[in-house]
Amino acid sequence: MFRSLFATARNWGFFHGCQQGYIYQQKFNLVNIKLKWVKDRTMDTVVSGQRDLKAAGILVSIIYSSPERCLPIYCLARHRGQLGLPDDLKLATFIRRYPNVFVESFFLDSGGSPVPCFSLSHDALKLHHEEVNILQQNSFEFRDRLCRLLMLTRDWILPLQTIDQLKWDLGLPYDYQHSFVVNYPERFSLFRLPDDRVGLKMLFWDHKLAISELEKNAYLQQQKEDIKNGTLAFPVSFTRGFGMKRKSMEWLKEWQKLPYTSPYTDASHLDIRTDVSEKRIVGVFHELLHLTLHKQTERKNVSNLRKPLALPQKFTKAFERHPGIFYISKKNDIQTVVLREAYNGRELVQKHPLVKIREEFASLLKNGILDRSRGVYKKSADANLVEEVRKEVCIAEKSNQFNSKDEYDSM
């Protein structure tokens, strides 16, 4: 369907308008407009629970991937850098907030001191199994998400470390390079980058995927004349009470009429000092956020994509200049970029099945905190004490396993 619509757009002169972009943009220098940041409580609510949800979800995946579905705290602490938790928050304290997700037990070390271990509750296992089933049922969709991410880059390549920062947002499995990428050898290849890191490369260009979300929705959201001229406009909405000067309103109106350059096309001909180039940068972020499940990601994740996306210095300033397209939430002392058009109030306009599972998991976390405050869960060290000899063997095996895994991760 999209291919036929896109072909019609081509006949109407859509691409002709894009080709005229370089000539057109010479008349439009980058206007120095600064729009104030206004707090949006609704958007902040959307972001507020994401940090703990992500950290708990990653811990569930780590514990589930262990041979005995149970890990001591010092093994989990090795993965703390992936969780995004505050430095002053102890990992064990965070895990104990959710006793209906993480079941605590103990074993005695060589000195006779109890060492806490954590396994998963029945409810947590059930939700994790549902998540795995959704990933399997939608494997081609997630493959295409990863393809599109790589197609946004200059050489169709990204280091695994960069993808790791986005895998939760994209909905990829925790161990995607072992459990997911290997299933598509005709699409992806792992290889070593010049800086000795491991990278993921897409092996061929898929024209069916090289259509941005803005282009897909053009016939639903755009004027026919804009489609014909290739001047697609981004959906815009502002925080209630947001005031805009007349000069800024006129600039935004003219900026929306500039030629739209697809994030999947070569934009090396554009002058970075112009508004047309900035519209292309906004288009790249617009598409990137559409690839995420929650239509949001931390600003630092985007900052690390400057070189792969071939973007100029200070390119994230586009977020501040376009508060009607993006909202920057400062909840949890982290800057998170949210795509405004994807939300109707606090709810996503389109919810992926995996998002619904995560919402159930978020409710489980919330109930765990409430039950713990009511004293539903009591510590019972004697009941949870595991046989010393058995655990010494298990921990030795786990240590060997995680040491080898740490070596791979550091590679």
Local confidence band at 197 (pLDDT 50, 70, 90 cut-offs): very high
Q: Which domains does the chain have, with CATH numbers?
A: 2-30+212-345 (no CATH), 48-128+358-410 (1.10.10), 143-205 (3.30.420)
Taking residues 165-189, report their average pLDDT: 94
Output the pLDDT for position 23. 44
Which structure tokens are listed for 2? 């999209």
Mean pLDDT within 265-279: 88
Between 27 and 153, the more confident residue is 153
Q: What is the mean pLDDT of residues 200-212?
A: 94
For residues 110 and 103, is the Cβ–Cβ distance under 8 A? no
Average pLDDT of the residues in 286-292: 97
Mean pLDDT is highest, among 169-173, 383-387, 402-406, for: 169-173
Query: Residue 260: pLDDT band by 50, 70, 90 thresholds?
Result: very high
In the chain, the amino acid numbered 391 is K
| Amino acid 352: pLDDT | 96
pLDDT one-digit tens code per residue, 337-358: 999 999 999 999 999 999 999 9
pTM to 2 decimal places = 0.83
Residue 42's pLDDT is what? 92
pLDDT for 410 equals 34
Binned at pLDDT 50, 70 and 90, residue 180 comes out as very high
Closest CA to 55 of 93, 82, 86: 82
**pLDDT tens digits for range 292-331:** 999 999 999 988 898 899 888 888 888 988 999 999 999 9
Q: What is the pLDDT of residues 12-61, one digit of tens each?
A: 444 444 444 444 444 456 566 677 788 999 999 999 889 999 999 999 99
pLDDT of residue 145: 96
The three state secondary structure string of the chain is CHHHHHHHHHHCCHHHHHHCHHHHHCCCECCCCCCCCCCCHHHHHHHHCHHHHHHHHHHHHHHHHCCCCEEEHHHHHCCHHHCCCCCCCCHHHHHHCCCCCEEEEEEECCCCCEEEEEEECHHHHHHHHHHHHHHHHCHHHHHHHHHHHHHCCCCCEEEHHHHHHHHHHHCCCCCHHHHCHHHCCCCEEEEECCCCCEEEEECCCCHHHCCCHHHHCHHHHCCHHHHHHCCCCCCCCCCCCCCCCHHHHHHHHHHHCCCCCCCCCCCCCCCCCEHHHHHHHHHHHHHHHHHCCCCEEEHHHHHCCCCCCCCCCCCCHHHHHCCCCEEEECHHHCCEEEEHHHEECCEECCCCHHHHHHHHHHHHHHHHHHHHHCCCCCCCHHHHECCHHHHHHHHHHHHHHHHHHHHHHHC
Statement: residue 232 has pLDDT above 60: yes
